[in-house]
């Protein structure tokens, strides 16, 4: 049926865990490479625990699989160079390079004709005042690399501006009434399939809920899908991508892209016959994509920190699907699981 039988996954967190489960339903095996704790290792065929600087471990990992993918973006370039010399990496290195660096990402999006927040490069603290003069206040300073879930970000208001401590990008504030995200897949043959856009709500920089349908006009949701497809095609992408967009009086602008399965796509587990995890496995393995059609209205909620205490009640609640990540002790801001509520 297919030459790919074993998929290597860089990263052993909850996304790798759910990818491994999806692969197993298709009769495929997953080998996880993770330097630290690896919830994905509990359900995968094989787990390698080693640093990304361990050349021998990387080589053995690559030689044991047919294709390599990843559940997070920040894999060292040296490790990727070695792995790619042995096995194909999907999505490709360009998608990684663009998404790893906020400046590269916004420049790429503008270059393909898509709108973003106004931004300025801030390579050092000495460049901050000039950037603020160009972009204005209020604005938000974000590290170019490694920031997620609100980390590596400083709000620039009327008072003295703080520095992030690393090369950064200053973004102007955007007047938006809603944030939505599109989960889109693109196969090796160029076939594209998108899921319905979901409405996102954040708190303290962390995604709390995603709801579908998103409640925006059909023209807006169609435009959002077309924007996501333009990005995927421009990157010659293979796999699932998350694209976050702001709905503004001037139309849609792109906030950021994630070259992997995405938190805001977890609702697909309860709302679609083929969810985002299976769709990604299909794409990187060279299998036909599912159509992504939604058959239910769903509200996804992240379980963060002590939200885990609610699990017994959630398990008793009708039309609720509980997903726990097998992590250790809950702590503030740590994603421990999520629930999908079928609402219609």
Instruction: List binding-site positions for ATP.
Output: 102, 142, 147-153, 171-174, 179, 202, 255-256
The 3-class secondary structure across 10-72, one letter per residue, is ECCCHHHHHHHHHHHHCCCEEEEECCCCCHHHHCCCEEECCCCCCHHHHHHHHHCCCEEEECC
Give how far the C-alpha of residue 87 lies from the chain's centroid of Cα atoms, to the nearest Å: 23
What is the Cα–Cα distance from 232 to 224, expressed in whole angstroms? Answer: 13
> Please, are residues 221 and 178 in contact by the beta-carbon 8 Å criterion?
no
How far, in Å, are 103, 122, 173, 175 from residue 117 at the CA level?
12, 15, 7, 10
What is the Cα–Cα distance from 251 to 267, expressed in whole angstroms? Answer: 25
Tell me if residue 193 falls in helix, strand or coil. Answer: strand
| Residue indicated by tokens 């390599």 | 68
Q: What is the DSSP letter of 114?
A: -
Return phi, psi of residue 161, to 5°: -85, 130
Tokens standing for residue 83: 């792995």
Binding site listing: 102, 142, 147-153, 171-174, 179, 202, 255-256
What is the Cα–Cα distance from 30 to 278, expressed in whole angstroms? Answer: 13
């Amino acid at each position: 049926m297919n030459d790919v039988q074993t998929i290597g996954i860089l990263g052993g967190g909850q996304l790798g865990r759910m990818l491994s489960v999806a692969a197993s339903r298709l009769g495929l095996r997953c080998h996880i490479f993770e330097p630290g704790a690896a919830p994905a290792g509990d359900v995968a065929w094989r787990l390698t625990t080693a640093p990304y600087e361990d050349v021998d471990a990387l080589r053995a990992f690559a030689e044991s699989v047919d294709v390599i993918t990843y559940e997070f973006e920040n894999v060292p370039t040296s490790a990727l160079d070695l792995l790619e010399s042995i096995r194909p990496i999907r999505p490709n290195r360009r998608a990684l390079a663009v998404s790893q660096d906020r400046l590269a990402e916004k420049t790429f999006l503008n270059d393909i004709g898509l709108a973003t927040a106004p931004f300025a490069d801030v390579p050092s603290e000495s460049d901050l005042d000039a950037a603020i003069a160009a972009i204005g206040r209020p604005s938000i300073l974000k590290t170019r690399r490694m920031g997620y879930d609100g980390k590596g970000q400083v709000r620039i208001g009327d008072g003295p501006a703080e520095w992030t401590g690393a090369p950064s990008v200053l973004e102007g504030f955007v007047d938006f009434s809603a944030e939505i995200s599109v989960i889109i897949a693109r196969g090796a043959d160029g076939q594209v399939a998108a899921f319905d856009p979901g409405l996102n709500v954040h708190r303290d920089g962390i995604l709390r809920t995603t709801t579908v349908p998103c409640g925006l006009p059909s023209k807006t949701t169609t435009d959002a899908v077309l924007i996501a497809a333009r990005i995927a095609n421009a990157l010659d992408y293979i796999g699932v991508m998350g694209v976050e967009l702001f709905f503004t009086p001037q139309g849609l602008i792109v906030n950021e892209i994630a070259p992997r399965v995405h938190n805001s796509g977890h609702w697909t587990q309860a709302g679609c016959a083929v969810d985002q995890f299976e769709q990604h496995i299909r794409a990187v393995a060279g299998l036909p994509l599912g159509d992504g059609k939604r058959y239910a209205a769903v509200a996804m909620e992240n379980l963060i920190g002590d939200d885990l205490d609610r699990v017994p009640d959630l398990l008793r609640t009708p039309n609720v699907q509980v997903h726990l990540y097998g992590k250790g002790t809950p702590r503030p801001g740590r994603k421990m699981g999520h629930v999908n509520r079928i609402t219609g």
